Amino acid sequence: MKKIKVLFLYPPEQSWPKTMVKPNGSLAYPYLGGALRDINVESYVYDACVGNDDDNLDDFFYKSSQLPSGMIRTGVNDDRILEVASNYDAIGITSIFSQQETQVLHCAKIIKKKFPNKLLFSGGVNAKSRAPIFFNAGFDIIFTSESEISIQQVVTIMQKNSCDFSKVGKIYFKNKDGKIIDNSHFGEIIMNLDKLPIPAWELLPNKRYWKIGRPHGGKGKHGQELRYASMMTSRGCPFSCSYCHIAEEVAGSKSGAIGKFRFKSDDRVINELTILKNQIGVRQVFIEDDSIFGMKRRAIRLLKRIVGFGLDLMDVNGINMIHLVKKSKKPGWMIPDEEVIELLAEVGFKEIVLPFESANLRIIKKWCSNKLALDRFDPGELIKTIKKYKMYVGTNYMLGFPDETKKELEETVSFAKKMQQYGLDHSNFYLVMPVPGTPMFDYCIKNKHLPVDYNPDRFQWTKANLKNIAINPTELEIIRDNAWEACNSKEFKNLRKSWVVG
């Protein structure tokens, strides 16, 4: 049996000048590394944005360089990436962020040029939606779904010195004649999440991430000691918003039904938290579930077991507001569910982000899977109730939906300003940015709001990308910037500005 060593590479990050840079560090590699560990295959994670113990952060992280596109590149140089890659038989590069695609493709090109015989593979929502571009850049395999099983199968075939991947499901691959074979229609997906490998968090450059101190959501004050990690207690979501990949991850699609809400048992979650606390030395845990309250009773039961665990839990990925309210005596009217909010505080949650998205009912109905809208509850009451339990409250808004009128958009901005009076800690405004693999993206291509050859570099929440909409792009960007300036404290703005590149 041939010994196979796998490298998982996060490419350098690219950002527009005056925007923030945060290392990737998402959970694909801990899971995939865990899957390989379980079949005794060695893997290593190299984050080219932050490097490893042989790299001096001052040489590159705080000294970024400019790319031909005008964007800023943060990370080690190409020679260093090639030096690290030279030690491995296969190199995987995740592509979950469309706006980072150019760096993924760049790394693939330089690695394939220097080492044509190394196997290059990618996965993630962006890679699976843009496979032809990835193959052109030199990739040999694109994984089209959750890949804990298929990566084990691919590596097992490599151990037999073969490159015949025709029996591996949920992949596209280039066969020995250079033909792309589509195996996305078969393959096993793990529905019982307790069967997932325990994530190999130890593969991540955790100490570097903690030193840099730029976690998800941006919470954290200057000088605060951060020892954080991410985890997921569930995958999938019961909703299906038009701007989310989950809406297309259904049975029969190239990923299969991974959009379906699935969850780990309470014991499994406790086990993972124990590992994070005792083995990785973590103090703050970011729960990155798409929908932790996807099944409210289960979430409450789980949280009750976590009380007193001694970890700060942060859900910054957004708790759907419907789960923070309950029915009242008035038909159709919801009031804050104080029992749940109190429990969140008791468990150690320090932060809740409320994804209002829009103050306009038509927009919520048409684009946001008719989530909880303002005709059914009092948002001020909800914020006040959360603040009562001393939690940090942020809000998220989306501006510039494809058919949004200026009046509708202004409704959202004035609503956001009004909410400030309830003591919000921050408000984020995202310009609508349809990404490949979502119904909104398909709509925008069909209705010519996006050109077919759109540039993913532009996919940035402060950049207006859509054409033929009611508000012109420059004006839209100004409205967003002004709203962000008006709705955030000096302290929050200064912290975010200190993470800016360029």
Which residues contribute to the site for ligand B12 (CB under 6 A)? 13, 22, 24-28, 31-32, 92, 94, 96-100, 121-126, 143, 146-148, 151, 216, 230, 232, 244-245, 286, 288, 290, 317, 430, 435, 461
Q: Give start and end residues of each alpha helix (H) in 231-280.
A: 266-274
**How far, in Å, CA of 172 to CA of 266, rounded?**
35
Decide: 375 and 336 in contact? Cβ < 8 Å.
no
420 binds ligand SF4 (CB under 6 A): no
Residue 320: which of ligand SF4, ligand B12, none does it interact with, CB under 5 to 8 A by kind?
A: ligand SF4
Cβ proximity to ligand SF4: between 14 and 438 the closer is 438
CB of 154 to ligand B12, least distance (A): 8
**How far, in Å, CA of 285 to CA of 482, rounded?**
32
CB of 322 to ligand SF4, least distance (A): 10
Residue 143: which of ligand B12, ligand SF4, none does it interact with, CB under 5 to 8 A by kind?
A: ligand B12
**Which residue in 6, 35, 142, 241 binds ligand SF4 (CB under 6 A)?**
241
Tokens of 493: 């703005």
Cβ proximity to ligand SF4: between 140 and 290 the closer is 290
240 binds ligand SF4 (CB under 6 A): yes
CB of 264 to ligand B12, least distance (A): 12
Phi/psi at 453 (5° precision): -100, 40
Residue 241: which of ligand SF4, ligand B12, none does it interact with, CB under 5 to 8 A by kind?
A: ligand SF4
27 binds ligand SF4 (CB under 6 A): no
CB of 483 to ligand B12, least distance (A): 15
**Considering only CA atoms, which of 52, 3, 60, 49 is closest in space to residue 26?**
49
Residue 291: which of ligand SF4, ligand B12, none does it interact with, CB under 5 to 8 A by kind?
A: ligand SF4
395 binds ligand SF4 (CB under 6 A): no
**How far, in Å, CA of 149 to CA of 12, rounded?**
27
**How far, in Å, CA of 10 to CA of 142, rounded?**
16
**How far, in Å, CA of 291 to CA of 60, rounded?**
36
CB of 70 to ligand SF4, least distance (A): 30
CB of 320 to ligand SF4, least distance (A): 6
396 burial level (CB within 10 Å; 0-12, 13-18, 19+): middle
- In this structure, which amino acid lies at residue 32? L
Query: Applying CB under 6 A, which part among 6-14, 235-243, 384-392, 472-480 lies near ligand SF4?
Result: 235-243
320 binds ligand SF4 (CB under 6 A): yes
Tokens of 149: 């099983």
Non-local (6+) Cβ contacts of 305 within 8 A are: 266, 270
Decide: 39 and 152 in contact? Cβ < 8 Å.
yes
**Considering only CA atoms, which of 33, 72, 76 is closest in space to residue 54?**
76
Torsion, CA 136, CA 204, CA 292, CA 367, rounded to 10: -30
Total chain residues near ligand SF4 (CB under 6 A):
10
244 binds ligand SF4 (CB under 6 A): yes
Which residues form the interface with ligand SF4 (CB under 6 A)?
A: 237, 239-241, 244, 246, 290-291, 320, 369
